[in-house]
Amino acid sequence: MGDLVPDLTGKTFLVTGANTGIGKETLRGLAGRGARVVVAGRSEERTRAAISEIAAATGNDDLDFLPLDLGDLGSVRAAAQAFLASGERLDVLVNNAGLAGRRGMTASGFELAFGTNHVGPFLLTELLRDRIVETGPGRIVNVASTGHYRAPGIDWDAVRRPSVTRTAFDEYCVSKLANVLHARELGRRLEGTGVTTYSLHPGAVASDVWREVPFGVRHLMKLFMKSPEQGARTSLYCATSPAVDGVTGRYYDAEREKAPSKVVTDELAAELWERSEEWVRPALRG
């Protein structure tokens, strides 16, 4: 990774869901280049264990834990307020946390994958974006998936109901489509601010995001997947590479720009934005 990530001393990153898998390897890559990293997640025990391991491996102990449950918009607001109250800079936000293979509803009333993978990150981004603009130039990175190509669109009623498919994979794909659309519209809205946005497919990675998939199927899947370290390369590329300076709203795969699904249009991105704003408005107002 020596030629992939530039020296990041003096820069602050906030990464969600970095106690395992791709997020943990993203944290390792950032910490190894001297960045300060705030790691936001649900499990304090697991996150602090990951922080300790990476601090020991990299010699960088400027790593902190921030409690965050993306399925609970009250928790998202509290996490953002805690960060903002610190008064510190924020150069890059990496919306990495993801959930797959589980059915249900979030605490805030959304289909589980959609609420956790899109609505929570949308609110977190909205609450932190002014700090990123103030710090500037900055970046906002959404870890999406090639699964977004499978989504035919967004059923606005379905995202407010419990998951219906047996594996919840179709719902996961819709949530990843939302990640791509969010980055596209956010990039448009932030034009001229010095803050750029990116969405990406990290590769089919053998990570804990698949922990709810039945063991036999999961074992078979993992035979065809990348390691989390390989999977983190495109996240690190979008978060740090000078090669994408000034480029915004695009989708990446294997450290290259790639055309997203044909469903990804300016019109759908704008509609998702308007609906998402409406959904999170109570939490934005406090």
Show pLDDT as tens, one digit a residue, over the chain (286 residues). 445 668 999 999 999 999 988 899 999 999 999 999 999 999 999 999 999 999 999 999 999 999 999 999 999 999 999 999 999 999 999 999 989 889 999 999 999 999 999 999 999 999 999 999 999 999 999 999 999 999 999 999 999 999 999 999 999 999 999 999 999 999 999 999 999 999 999 865 544 444 555 555 545 544 445 565 677 899 999 999 999 999 999 999 999 999 999 999 999 999 999 999 999 999 887 6
Residue 19 maps to a domain? yes
* Catalytic entry in 172, 198, 237, 251: 172
Amino acid, single-letter form, for residue 154: I
Pairing of strands 256-257, 250-253: antiparallel
Reference 235, options 18, 11, 9, 52; nearest CA is 18
Q: What is the pLDDT of residue 1?
A: 42
Question: Domain range holding 160?
Answer: 12-281
The tokens describing 44, both together, are 């304090």
Bridge partners of residue 17, in order along the sequence:
none
Q: How many residues does the chain have?
A: 286
Q: How many structural domains are present in the chain?
A: 1
Instruction: Give a yes or no: residue 1 inside a domain.
Output: no
Is residue 252 part of the annotated active site? The answer reads: no
- b/e 29-64 (16+ beta carbons within 10 angstroms → b): bbbbbbbbbbbbbbeeeebbebbeebeeebebeebb
pLDDT, residue 206, reads 45
Question: What is the predicted pLDDT for the residue at 230?
Answer: 73
- Whether residue 3 is contained in a domain is answered as no
Does some domain include residue 7?
no
Tokens coding 215:
């063991």
Question: Considering only CA atoms, which of 69, 85, 49 is closest in space to residue 119?
Answer: 69
Q: What is the CATH number of the domain that holds 40?
A: 3.40.50.720
Residue 187 lies in a domain: yes
| Domain assignment present for 4 | no
